[in-house]
Structure 1
Amino acid sequence: MSQGEAAYERLLAAIQYGKFQPGDRLREIEVAASLSLSRTPVREALRKLESDGIVEHRPRIGAVIRRLSQAEVVELYEMRLVLERTAAEMAAKHASAAEIDALEELNEEIGTATDNAARAAALNQQFHRGIYLATRNRFLLESARALNNALLLLGPTTLADKVRITVVYDQHREIIAALRAADPQKAGEAAAVHLETSLRHRLKVMQA
């Protein structure tokens, strides 16, 4: 991995975990100091992030992490709902008992991460990725990966709220139960309800 690629991965992770957030200006010298990197690989990383649609260049300001409009957030969740419903339906057909056990363990960890929003968010990402992996469909997995950049632009996790974590935990349990029952219809419906609830909460946070 080149220095530019390494800088890209580290900057991407910093955005993912909330060190840099939508709307933040990314000055080369400050990013380099923050990530203990030199300016040249950071410059390369910023160019790649711009080509990915994560960063935009504004005249007289420079590189800024894009902020999604409310309409874009709704469009993103509409696409997520389609993919996650399909993923849950396919996982109900193909997931092994071990994979479902792993999802249950992740969900239990989410349920106890009420004082650590970053950890809860990371575990939540693992949970949803686990469902996609259980579909046994590489094309669906690639489609999900294509949304990852847009998901980075949603801003701070909504899992900072303990009540919200409880809702997520309970809805995940509904999905897991449908997977154990090998019931594609119920799994898809549970996933759809989960995404619809997530969208409502996200819009509420945006409007606050």
Structure 2
Amino acid sequence: MEKNEGFRVDNHSTLHSRVLNKLRQAIMSGYFKDGEHLIQDELAELFGVSRMPIREALRQLETEGMIEFVPHKGAVVRSITFKDIEEIYTIRAMLEALALEKSIPLITAEDIEELNELLIKLDECVEKPDNFVSLNKQFHRLLYSRLNWTRLPKYLKSLGYGIPLTGKQIAKSNQEHRLILEAVEKRDPKIGFKRMQAHILRTGKQIKHYLIEKKA
């Protein structure tokens, strides 16, 4: 496809998230190749935005291991592999399940109301997938926002929250979100742990299939 096709991003409140999502997807799909130099000015023109959201997105992708900053070159693509996906999602499954388990006794009625509202918005993403990653991140982070540990949320933030999915995949993810929220509403930390762990491990397998399809 042409270098400016399908990348333009609206300048609204979700600008940073949308730039990050599209850039992450472009790397995972192989649009940007392993070892390719990502020039901020060129990316800003490609996405139709200023350099600031590009710079922020590159910092996050460096944290996720998808790019690296090389002296005298700047940002360089480091293609994510099946091994990377397995490592990231195995770690995330354990850590986020633990975060939820420790958070369930602390989650408030107001939090539960907000989580239900986010699920309604996530259901809308079945038809309009662009906002899924941003809303998914809000849902997951709200689940452990009351956690009174400082390091664990930082570790989880560094692992990222996946890629845009198809409507069918989003519907499956939302189904699992409801089961997780059900455990929260019942104040059952052990069931919450199991459901969160299963959800994230399945998501990791789904992303592996995504990589196979995109590179076929």
- State the TM-score, normalizing by the size of structure 1: 0.75
Residue 58 and residue 163 in structure 1: after superposition, are their counterparts in 2 closer, same or farther (change >3 A)?
same
Aligned equivalents of 1:44, 1:201: Cα separation in 2? 29
Determine the structure 2 residue equivalent to 1:206.
211
Shift of 1:103: 1.1
1:171 aligns with 2:183: no
Determine the structure 1 residue equivalent to 2:9.
none
Determine the structure 1 residue equivalent to 2:11.
none
Q: Is the 8 A contact 2:118 2:135 kept in 1?
A: yes
Determine the structure 2 residue equivalent to 1:65.
77
Q: Is the 8 A contact 1:91 1:179 kept in 2?
A: no
Residue 47 and residue 145 in structure 1: after superposition, are their counterparts in 2 closer, same or farther (change >3 A)?
closer
Residue 187 and residue 14 in structure 1: after superposition, are their counterparts in 2 closer, same or farther (change >3 A)?
closer
Q: Is the 8 A contact 1:46 1:55 kept in 2?
A: no
Determine the structure 1 residue equivalent to 2:144.
132
Q: Is the 8 A contact 1:49 1:55 kept in 2?
A: no
Aligned equivalents of 1:174, 1:42: Cα separation in 2? 34
Aligned equivalents of 1:147, 1:180: Cα separation in 2? 27
Q: Is the 8 A contact 2:107 2:146 kept in 1?
A: yes
SS in 2 for 1:18: helix
Which sections of structure 1, spanning at least 5 residues, go unmatched?
A: 1-9
Which sections of structure 2, spanning at least 5 residues, go unmatched?
A: 1-13
1:104 aligns with 2:108: no
Determine the structure 2 residue equivalent to 1:145.
157
Residue 44 and residue 165 in structure 1: after superposition, are their counterparts in 2 closer, same or farther (change >3 A)?
closer
Aligned equivalents of 2:149, 2:70: Cα separation in 1? 39
Q: Is the 8 A contact 2:44 2:54 kept in 1?
A: no
Residue 136 and residue 68 in structure 1: after superposition, are their counterparts in 2 closer, same or farther (change >3 A)?
same
Q: Report the aligned-residue RMSD.
A: 3.4
- State the TM-score, normalizing by the size of structure 2: 0.73
Determine the structure 1 residue equivalent to 2:199.
194
Aligned equivalents of 1:57, 1:120: Cα separation in 2? 28
Aligned equivalents of 1:181, 1:128: Cα separation in 2? 18
| Identical counterparts, % of pairs | 22
Q: Is the 8 A contact 2:19 2:53 kept in 1?
A: no
Determine the structure 2 residue equivalent to 1:4.
none
Aligned equivalents of 2:123, 2:187: Cα separation in 1? 24
The code of the aligned residue for 1:101 comes to E
Alignment length, in residue pairs?
Answer: 190
Match among 73, 78, 92 for residue 80 of structure 1: 92
